[in-house]
Amino acid sequence: MSLFLEVVPVSEAVETVRRIAPSPGCEEIPLEDALYRVLARDVLADIDIPGFDRSTVDGYAVIAADTTGASEAIPAMLQCRGRVLMGKANADRISPGTCWYVPTGGALPEGADAVVMIEHAEQIGDDILVHRPVAPGENVVLRGEDFEGGKTVLERGRMLSPREIGVVAAIGADRVCVMKTPKVGIISTGNEVVPITSTPGPGEVRDANSYLAGTFVAERGCHPVYFGIVRDERAALRQVISSALDQCDVVLISGGSSKDERDNTAAVIEELGEVLVHGIALAPGKPTIIGTARGKPVIGLPGHPASAFVVLVAIVEHLLAAMLGVTVARRTVRARLTQNIPSTRGREDYIRVSLRDGEATPVFGKSGLLNTLVRSEGLVRIPASSEGFEVGEEVEVILW
């Protein structure tokens, strides 16, 4: 078959993987099991949160108008009618000229519209001298101010961190509907690839890519399924890919994506389905394959780990996000370049950089070198329309 007849832009490759991304479906699970899962449905508040007007400070619940003009020299004098107990509603309605002591989080008596901080008041017997005026709503959270009953609290597509879990618990939802965890098959190919527990002989390399790709997809909320190493034999590769398609939603294959005649990945994908893209205007990562088989995405990654990782960041991350219904959220920082970075117009380049004191230094190295992954903190993306960046220029760094 002919390879690299048409190298596509990165934007087109991204749109392709988004278009072929299957939905893994959804399931309802206990809230305690939902950490870092993605919501499949909006979560609504069952009641107003809070369900009462409450104080945000220790102090005295008052009618704000009673404190108008209060000062250190001429304090407002209010009669204290008692204390509000935590977890209890006060049955008495506040009347003008009176106040109630209320702790932080306590319910305001009916009719109170503000709280004077205890630091701004002085108690003399049953009387409270207020040395500072308060405005209506000051030091108070009103009923429903946090969340209104029946309104959306968290939207579909939100990943549930501990913060979101706490919010869901506060509205009384002990179960949530989340996207099922996509299963991603991980396959390494090549006669030269050996297990990581083996000592490589001449011409051999350990299987770094299985672990690189597997942990990458796990970090993004998916479940990697490892299918080991396949030799450069078309029948063997076809059998393993078929098995992976039976068990997984997506299959990632490292190696076997270049022009060499022994590289069978594209041929096997075409036998099982369709090759949509074979060649992306991306460096490193040009020989990447995007295809489908049995309605499932199959991606061929470059064999060199550094190249494979760039493709995972630039392409595969968008596929996984589309499956889960989330947007790609990357951590980035701005930094100034310490060296020129040349680039070829028409190709999107991803350059590894190290960061220090607001400066980004390119970590130049061949795609087969692993040390560039641990010597760098992130990537600088050079658009296809650019011929590179110059020293001193401010750039955006995509953090690992």
CATH number of the domain that 94 lies in? Answer: 2.170.190.11
Q: Are 141 and 108 within 8 A, CB to CB?
A: no
Q: What are residue 124's DSSP bridge partners?
A: 127
CATH code of the domain in which 349 resides: 2.40.340.10
Residues 10-26 have a mean pLDDT of 97
Query: So what's the pLDDT on residue 229?
Result: 97
Indicate whether 218 and 310 sit together in one domain.
yes
Indicate if 310 and 202 belong to the same structural domain: yes
Note whether 86 and 220 are same-domain residues: no
**Same domain as 387, residue 340:** yes
The pLDDT score that the predictor gives to residue 400 is 87
Does some domain include residue 1?
A: no
Same domain for 307 and 338, yes or no, is no
Domain membership flag for residue 147: no
Strands (E), 9-97: 26-30, 43-44, 54-55, 59-62, 76-83
36, 174: one domain: yes
Name the β-bridge partners of 334. 396
Domain match, 208 and 273 both: yes
* Helices 265-272 & 234-247 angle (0-180, nearest 10): 50
**Each residue's pLDDT tens digit, 121-148:** 999 999 999 999 999 999 999 999 999 9
103-122, pLDDT tens digit by residue? 999 999 999 999 999 999 99
**Alpha-carbon gap, residue 88 to 375, rounded angstroms:** 59
Q: Identify the CATH number of the domain in which residue 234 sits.
A: 3.40.980.10
Which of 84, 119, 141 is a domain's end point?
Answer: 141
Summarised one tens digit per residue, pLDDT across range 45-58 is: 999 999 999 999 99
Residue 79 CB coordination number (10 Å): 12
Note whether 317 and 266 are same-domain residues. yes
User: Is residue 5 situated within a structural domain?
Assistant: no
Per-residue pLDDT tens over the stretch 167-226 = 999 999 999 999 999 999 999 999 999 999 999 999 999 999 999 999 999 999 999 999
Phi/psi of residue 266, each to 5°?
Answer: -60, -40
How far is the C-alpha of 328 from the C-alpha of 313, rounded, in Å?
A: 10
The total number of structural domains in the chain stands at 4
- Domain end marker among 262, 289, 324: 324
Full residue range of the structural domain in which residue 382 is found: 332-399
Distance CA 215, CA 231 (A): 23
pLDDT of residue 71: 96
Is residue 281, in this structure, part of any structural domain at all? yes
User: Nearest CA to 359 among 389, 391, 330?
Assistant: 391
CA distance 175 to 393: 50
